[in-house]
Amino acid sequence: MSIVLSGFLNPVFTMLTLGWGVGSLVDDPAALGTEDYVHFVGPGVLAGSAMLQGGFYSLWQALGALRWEGMYKNAVRTPASYIDVLTGRLVWGFLRLTFSSFAFLVVLLLVIGWSGWAALLAPFVAGLTGMATASPILAYSSAQENDKAFPIISRLIVTPLFVFSGTFTPVDSMPDFIAGIVKAFPGYHGIELARDLLNERAALGPSLGHLAVLLVWIVGGWILARAGFRKALTS
């Protein structure tokens, strides 16, 4: 039920409300580089929602499994190691977000029309975007004893990145300082890649660049998270 509500219904209602509601107020949709605002905001919500869910996935739920519920401590009493648990959490998060993104993609394509076979890659990009956000946050969460800082992370980091990473407005229209900060984070790259795929404008070079940034964040977070998982699950 949580997958359906958070991963499907919320993005669908957001896309429909903003795509048609706010989209009707956009005077010059061609300036966005897409056919209309729905073609712009739809892919943005697809990848942006995965980023948002990925961030939350690595906060309270992750800390609970590590320290409060004993779920992962029971897991390492089997032949599974703490690295297996860490990797399994990220793989499951990727599969979960990709699955819900496919459901959202079906609705999106019904709204904007078929846009080529490359569009079928967008849910995988969304899943990677979510894990590129989840991985470094998981590294932080795994080193914590409590959740005191989690509301600050969710309200002042994860949610603002969802809003300002190009989900609803072009990043290049923002002040250069803000745009530079946003482009350093994975959400921007996932949103741009999903938007290119769904608007039939993906080029090999830029696409590989966006994908490389996502993978760097995932692998970097995984490397940093190993210390927290080792301490929490083997001490």
Q: Which two tokens stand for residue 77?
A: 């009493």
Q: What is the pTM of this model?
A: 0.91
CA dist., res. 177 & res. 167, Å (int): 18
- Selection from 25-34, 109-118, 216-225 with the highest mean pLDDT: 216-225
Neighbours of 12 (CB within 10 A): 19
Chain centroid to CA 2: 16
pLDDT at 43: 92
In this predicted structure, the answer to whether residue 46 has a pLDDT above a threshold of 80 is yes
Confidence of residue 58 (pLDDT cuts 50, 70, 90): very high
pLDDT digits (tens, 9 = 90+) for 125-148: 999 999 999 999 999 999 999 999
pLDDT at 38: 84
Q: Which two tokens stand for residue 80?
A: 């599974």
pLDDT at 6: 61
Sign, CA torsion 109/110/111/115: positive
- Domain ranges for the chain, please list them: 2-22+32-234
Burial of 38 (0-12, 13-18, 19+ CB in 10 A): buried
Q: Which two tokens stand for residue 102?
A: 């496919």
pLDDT digits (tens, 9 = 90+) for 61-71: 999 999 888 89
